[in-house]
Amino acid sequence: MIELGVNIDHVATLREARKGVDPDVLEAAKLCEMAGAHQITAHLRQDRRHVQDQDIELLSELLEVRLNFEMAAVPEIIAVAHRIRPYQVCLVPESREEITTEGGLDVASDIEHLRAVTADMHSHDIQVSLFIDPDPRQVDAAVAVGADCVELHTGPYANAHGDEAMAVALQQLQDCGRYVIDAGLTLNAGHGLNVHNLEPVARIPGLHEVNIGHAIISRSIFIGLDNAVKEILDVLDRCAA
């Protein structure tokens, strides 16, 4: 079965709206875990707009499932990864102006730096995933860097307007997915996925993991967090059958 990483950033977004303690990020993560999520994903941004350092510390100490630590490859956050030792880091580009992660990491333009960061993470027993656009050039660069996995950016597919544009974006994901598997990397996907658009992505051969945040947290307002997680797991189950 394809594994589900639930991104809990937007539980923290809601808490930070009042700078208080509710809703509790750890409690939300535990609920996701109990509902069957295979991993929890959290992005400690440099501007700390949602997840805070203490959230990451608590998640790393108290989760039963894996922690996928999304991060920019910058010294300050690398030091946090050294301290908390997540199962996996997912390296993402980050700019202060963006509302959410906008494009994939340009691995091909930053090979030496990312190779050093990857080797450093490996020396701390941390697996490395790179969030990239579905572009074979970036896959080749991920291999050159020594990454374990790539997470294909599904945002352009999720945000495509009309069936034709969506089909083109899906084809790109399918073609690149095959390229990733042939290159010997683990294939993950994420961004903008929800209960309506997930199935075609989940049917990409060899897909290992999807990371889903905004749609699950949004849906939880109406049906509860455990049901929102289970709804996605049901889609993944159906695709595995």
Residues that bind ligand PXP (CB under 6 A): 7, 9, 43, 70, 90, 92, 100-101, 131, 151, 190-193, 211-215
Which of 60/211 has CB closer to ligand PXP? 211
Q: What is the DSSP string of 152-168?
A: EE-HHHHT--SHHHHHH
Indicate left, alpha or beta for 36 from its phi (over 0: left) and psi (-120 to 50: alpha): left
CB of 64 to ligand PXP, least distance (A): 21
Q: Which of 70, 94, 151, 209 is catalytic?
A: 70
Catalytic residue among 10, 38, 153, 191: 191
Bond before 134 cis per omega within 30 degrees: no
Three-class secondary structure of residue 103 per DSSP: coil
- The answer to whether 48 and 87 are in contact (CB under 8 A) is no
- Asked if 191 is an active-site residue, the reply is yes
153 is catalytic: no
Minimal distance, residue 74 CB to ligand PXP, in Å: 15
Q: Are 146 and 119 in contact (CB under 8 A)?
A: yes
Question: Minimum Å distance from CB 191 to ligand PXP?
Answer: 4
Nearer Cβ to ligand PXP (40/241): 40
Confirm whether 208 is a catalytic residue. no
Q: Which residue has the tokens 């295979």?
A: 38
* CB-count exposure of residue 87 (10 Å: 0-12, 13-18, 19+): middle
Taking the least distance from each CB to ligand PXP, the nearer of 174 and 194 is: 194
Q: Which is nearer to ligand PXP, 169 or 212 (CB)?
A: 212
Q: How far is the CB of 151 from ligand PXP (least distance, A)?
A: 5
Residue type for position 220: S
Catalytic residue numbers, as ranges: 43, 70, 191
